[in-house]
Amino acid sequence: MEGRYESGAHRVYDLKYHIVWKTKYGYGVLNGDVALRTRQILREICAENGLKVVSGNVRANHVHMLVSGPTNISVAQMAQYLKGKSSHRLQKEFRELQKRYWRQHL
């Protein structure tokens, strides 16, 4: 059991959250290079915010993640970081996603 729990000044914890979200309109855009980059981006976001990915799965139109995090970050904040930042970074790198979701047909 050594190392199973995280600890802080006045707490010992082992919190894990299963977070699932779909792509906008259920489009199956998380394929190939986009799916691989999505995995990398989600790992980066977790590292930046002190979260640990226990397990995860990227499908064509949805993402499953089991995430462990500290007690000072709420589940809503975790979901906001993961969904918002990953979407922003993906749309920045893959311009075809912007056209599909934001109707920028240029």
- Cβ atoms 67, 52 nearer than 8 A: yes
Is residue 105 predicted with pLDDT exceeding 60?
A: no
β-pair partners for 58: 63
Element (H, E) at 82: none
pLDDT in tens, 48-81: 999 999 999 999 999 999 999 888 899 999 999 9
Q: What is the mean pLDDT of residues 27-47?
A: 95
Q: What is the CATH number of the domain that holds 91?
A: 3.30.70.1290
Structure tokens at 14: 């082992």
48 belongs to a structural domain: yes
- Cβ atoms 28, 61 nearer than 8 A: yes
Question: Rounded to a whole number, what is the distance in angstroms from the first to the last CA of the chain?
Answer: 57
34 belongs to a structural domain: yes
- Domain encompassing residue 92: 13-102
pTM of the model: 0.85
Nearest to 77 by CA among 15, 26, 28, 23: 15
pLDDT of residue 32: 93
- Cβ atoms 43, 89 nearer than 8 A: no
Going by pLDDT thresholds of 50, 70 and 90, the confidence category of residue 106 is: very low
Going by pLDDT thresholds of 50, 70 and 90, the confidence category of residue 90 is: very high
pLDDT of residue 102: 61
